Structure 1
Amino acid sequence: MLEILNTLSKSSEPLQHAVIFLFNGAEENILQASHGFITQHEWAKSIRAFINLEAAGVGGKELVFQTGPENPWLVQAYVVAAKHPFASVVAQEIFQSGIIPADTDFRIYRDFGNVPGMFSEDLFCVSAFLIGDNILAVLKYLATSDKLAKSFEYRHGNVVFFDVLGLFVVAYPARVGTIMNYITAATAFLYLSKKLLQPKTRAIHNLKNFFTAFGLTLASWVCTLVTVLLVAVFVSVIGRSLSWYTHFYVSVFLYGTAAVAKLVLVHTLAKKFFYKNTNEQYLGDTFFDASLMIWSLALAMITRMGLCSAFICMLWVAFPLLAKLMIHKEFICHDVHAGNVCSLSVYDVS
């Protein structure tokens, strides 16, 4: 903040709006300083938007955790201006759910000042330079924006937003996301129903194998979750809690290998006891369909709950299904004498 203040003070570029730099104390004591400022200071009523900065001090990228409430123009400002974008609506919804036992000045400005803003978590050790670039660019954009003067006129709905490999941010209205999600889920259900119920003579056999694969897939996920939790308990028991906190790749190795090993074990046992003489192509297709059904159901339910994070399920359904449809081959034979058309698909052969 000091460096940004120094840079702005030396810049010849005029700003359309004033900028207040607020250095709060007493954050860990129920956020007293921010509460005192937003409820009592004479400048508080003139504030139209804020950028709330946090520092975890563990290394990594700066991440935009929260925006709003509503005010999609704030997300658009970040999309347009940020030089090193790293943002996700998933982080926002997880933080707002209360699962993470933490609080920030963002809530104080939002609830007591009714001011829209952006909450940026600076993982300080590595990214001080990167967040400086980002915040300076976004701050200049906001300070020269016509929307800032009438920010309350632009409150209309939520936004789905996420970055793609830190290269750029995808953002679109939540109502558009809802339509996309339901269309994707409906397409997947249509694909599965058409596939499983054709041909009719094998429908019961197909459904039996499908639901077996569905149950085994869910069981493998539950076993994986239990394994990861057991590893976490073991790490805590030996007094090494959060020992991986400053080294993200250690956590991936510690928990990722346990998760993968459990998944492989469950599916290996399933193949040995449930699918001894089953064609591998048919087996792969069956488990693909089971996973597709699980994510499609999750997509429909999360969208119904009104969560923007449903976009993850949408991507996990849309792209695999699209790839499957593109590479899928059907062999069509025409019975000239009978005048009928019949099709034989690779997934019908076991």
Structure 2
Amino acid sequence: MLEILSTLSKSSEPLQHAVIFLFNGAEENILQASHGFITQHEWAKSIRAFINLEAAGVGGKELVFQTGPENPWLVQAYVSAAEHPFASVVAQEIFQSGIIPADTDFRIYRDFGNIPGIDLAFIENGYIYHTKYDTSDRILTDSIQRAGDNILAVLKYLATSDKLAKSFEYRHGNVVFFDILGLFVLAYPARVGTIMNYIIAAIAFIYLSKKILQPKTKVNNMKKFFTAFGLTLLSWLSTLVTVLIVAVFISLIGRSLSWYSHFYVSMSLYGTAATAKLILVHTLAKKFYYKNMNDQYLGDVFFDASLMFWAIALTVLTQIGLCSAFICTLWVAFPLFTKLMIHKEFRQKGKNLFLFFHFHDVLKIVTLALAM
């Protein structure tokens, strides 16, 4: 904040709007400083938007984990201006659900000031955060530089924006936003996402009903499909139990947050256990229940069972109104469309091929475990 303040003060570029730098104290004491400013200070009523800087770690990429409320133009401003954007609506909905026992000044500005904003936080190496090891020498200078580049660019964008003066006129609906492999952020209105989600779910249900409800083999197909569906759910449930057992064991040996040091530690610790359990359940099912079934047909049945689950999840999450439903959209759309295209191509050559993706199942289990 001091470096950005210094840079702006020396810049010859004119700003259309004033910028207030607020250095808060008493954050851990029920966010008193931010509450006092936004409810009592004479400048508070002139504020149209804010950028809140947080930390849940000591480095890495700063993540946009809260936006709004209902100001999609702010997300678009961040996506357009930030040099290294990194954001996720999943993080926003998880944080605002109350699963994570934490709070930030963002809520104070939003609820008491009725002001839209962006909430960013460092999330890497949270294992030492707020401990005696949380010292200045462990702060990564490249992370500070990255955050400075992003915030300065977004701040200049907002301070020269015509929308900022009439921000309340652009308050309509939520926005779905997520990064693509850390390269860029994709953002679109939630209402567009809702339409797209329902269309993709409908295509999946039409595809499944056409395959399962064939007149000559209807009963047999339904029996095999629902058996595979049940085994798939059983594999996920047993995998979740396994991951939770690992979590309990880690807690008992006094390393309950060891996975929080780096992302690859959590993936190695819980991802390995989840993958091994999934493989074990499906291997046992194939050995004792599907002894003489063709591997290609077996993969096709389990693909359909998994597709059905995610299509149902996509429909339910969209109906609830969660923007995070885009994850199910990806897990339904890409496997299904790839399968349809490849099946059409090979059918013309008199061959048949299927694609079966289970990696997203592992990620789902690990995500649930880490959130808990």
Shared fold, TM over 0.5: yes
1:224 aligns with 2:235: no
Q: Counterpart of 2:60 in 1: which secondary structure?
A: coil
Structure 1 position 49, deviation (Å):
0.3
Distance 1:346 1:108, change over 3 A: closer
Question: Counterpart in 2 of 1:180?
Answer: 196
Structure 1 position 248, deviation (Å):
2.3
Q: Deviations over 1:171-200 (max 9, x none)?
A: 1111111000000000000000001122x2
Distance in 2 (CA, whole Å) between partners of 1:76 and 1:250 is 33
Structure 1 position 131, deviation (Å):
0.8
Output the amino acid matched with 1:38: I
Q: Counterpart of 2:18 in 1: which secondary structure?
A: coil
- Structure 1 segment 6-155 matched on structure 2, within 5 A: 6-123=6-123, 125-126=139-140, 127-155=143-171
Distance in 1 (CA, whole Å) between partners of 2:347 and 2:16 is 66
- Structure 1 segment 202-281 matched on structure 2, within 5 A: 202-281=217-296
Question: Counterpart in 1 of 2:178?
Answer: 162
Q: Counterpart of 2:151 in 1: which secondary structure?
A: helix
Q: Counterpart of 1:166 in 2: which secondary structure?
A: coil
1:192 aligns with 2:208: yes
Question: Counterpart in 2 of 1:2?
Answer: 2
Output the amino acid matched with 2:103: D
TM-score, normalised to structure 1, is: 0.93
Output the amino acid matched with 1:255: Y
Aligned length: 337
Contact map agreement 1:59 1:246 (CA 8 A) in 2 = no
Structure 1 position 128, deviation (Å):
1.2
Distance in 2 (CA, whole Å) between partners of 1:288 and 1:250 is 30
Distance in 2 (CA, whole Å) between partners of 1:331 and 1:95 is 47
Contact map agreement 1:38 1:44 (CA 8 A) in 2 = yes
Q: Deviations over 1:1-52 (max 9, x none)?
A: 1111111111111111000000100000000000000000010000000000
Question: Counterpart in 2 of 1:335?
Answer: none
Question: Counterpart in 1 of 2:315?
Answer: 300
Q: Counterpart of 2:178 in 1: which secondary structure?
A: strand
Structure 1 position 346, deviation (Å):
7.0
Distance in 1 (CA, whole Å) between partners of 2:48 and 2:70 is 14
Structure 1 position 299, deviation (Å):
0.1
Distance in 1 (CA, whole Å) between partners of 2:78 and 2:353 is 47
Q: Counterpart of 1:328 in 2: which secondary structure?
A: helix
TM-score, normalised to structure 2, is: 0.88
Output the amino acid matched with 1:262: K
Show structure 1 runs of 5+ residues with no match. 333-342
Q: Deviations over 1:201-259 (max 9, x none)?
A: 21111111110110011111011111111101001111111123223212211111100
Structure 1 position 138, deviation (Å):
0.4
Contact map agreement 1:58 1:245 (CA 8 A) in 2 = no
Output the amino acid matched with 2:213: L
Contact map agreement 1:122 1:128 (CA 8 A) in 2 = no
- More deviation in 316-325 or 124-133? 124-133
Please say which structure displays the higher CA radius of gyration: 1
Q: Deviations over 1:148-168 (max 9, x none)?
A: 001011101111111111222
Structure 1 position 58, deviation (Å):
3.8
Q: Deviations over 1:247-280 (max 9, x none)?
A: 3212211111100000000000110111000000
1:319 aligns with 2:334: yes
Contact map agreement 1:89 1:308 (CA 8 A) in 2 = yes
Distance in 2 (CA, whole Å) between partners of 1:57 and 1:317 is 33
Structure 1 position 315, deviation (Å):
0.9
Contact map agreement 1:93 1:309 (CA 8 A) in 2 = yes
Show structure 2 runs of 5+ residues with no match. 125-138, 355-372
Output the amino acid matched with 2:156: K
Distance in 1 (CA, whole Å) between partners of 2:282 and 2:347 is 30
Distance in 1 (CA, whole Å) between partners of 2:353 and 2:327 is 29
Output the amino acid matched with 1:327: I
Structure 1 position 345, deviation (Å):
7.1
Output the amino acid matched with 1:180: M
Distance in 1 (CA, whole Å) between partners of 2:154 and 2:105 is 19
Distance in 2 (CA, whole Å) between partners of 1:24 and 1:302 is 37
